[in-house]
């Protein structure tokens, strides 16, 4: 009778500790629609752009597609803005369970004014600090196989605390918005 409790409680406490430390990524909560609140900021997926390589860059290799997921993030407080700049991370996943991290191959392309690439969190090196109520555009680029494009979903993860030893990240999973 006590065996399940004896085994379960230490496991649950350890899991909670590992999640709080950020060593185990949190389960991403599916977003209903195109907007959600995440770690004190409003996030919206604006669209997905395919194969926009720019005029001076080569197209992806055969069987690959360049996918740009375009987001906006608006922190509700100065603290949320600081966490966004320090800790937002991205991942693309498909319906087969495959996942991709952002690519650096097309970082020399021009981005819209005020937008960042999403490679270094949501920080723009030439942009002012992200203040409460200020919208920041984020363009995250992935190289994925052609067969993954239609089923891609986009995960955004942001720390909820400033404590580097226990950041308690939170994650949201966006579907591709309707065209």
Phi, then psi, of 44 in degrees rounded to 5: -140, 135
Q: Which of 95, 97, 83 is nearest to 156 (CA)?
A: 83
Q: Which of 134, 179, 132, 176 is nearest to 33 (CA)?
A: 176
Expressed as residue numbers, the domain containing 29 is 3-175
How many C-beta atoms lie closer than 10 Å to residue 76's C-beta? 14
Q: Which residues pair with 70 in a beta bridge?
A: 47, 139
96: domain CATH number?
2.60.40
Pairing mode of beta strands 136-145, 115-116: parallel
Our count of domains for the chain comes to 1
Give, for all 179 residues of the chain, the pLDDT tens digit: 555 656 555 544 554 554 444 455 568 899 999 999 999 999 999 999 999 888 778 889 899 999 999 999 999 999 888 888 888 899 999 999 999 999 988 888 888 887 888 877 787 767 778 889 999 999 999 999 999 999 999 999 988 776 666 657 789 999 999 87
CA distance 6 to 171: 31
């Amino acid at each position: 009778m006590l065996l399940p409790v004896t085994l379960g409680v230490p496991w649950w406490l350890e899991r909670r500790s590992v999640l709080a430390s950020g060593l185990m990524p949190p389960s991403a909560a599916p977003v209903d629609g195109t907007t959600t609140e995440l770690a004190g900021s409003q996030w919206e997926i604006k669209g997905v752009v395919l194969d926009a390589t720019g005029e001076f860059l080569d197209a992806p290799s055969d069987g690959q597609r360049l996918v740009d997921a375009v987001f906006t993030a608006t922190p509700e407080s100065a603290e949320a803005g600081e966490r966004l700049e320090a800790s937002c991370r991205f991942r693309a996943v498909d319906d087969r369970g495959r996942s991709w991290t952002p690519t650096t191959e097309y970082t020399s392309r021009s981005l819209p004014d005020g937008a960042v690439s999403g490679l270094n969190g949501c920080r723009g090196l030439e942009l002012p600090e992200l203040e409460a109520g200020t919208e920041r555009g984020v363009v995250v680029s992935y190289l994925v196989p052609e067969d993954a494009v239609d089923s891609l979903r986009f995960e955004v993860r942001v720390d909820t605390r400033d404590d580097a030893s226990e950041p308690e990240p939170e994650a949201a999973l966006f579907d591709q918005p309707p065209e």
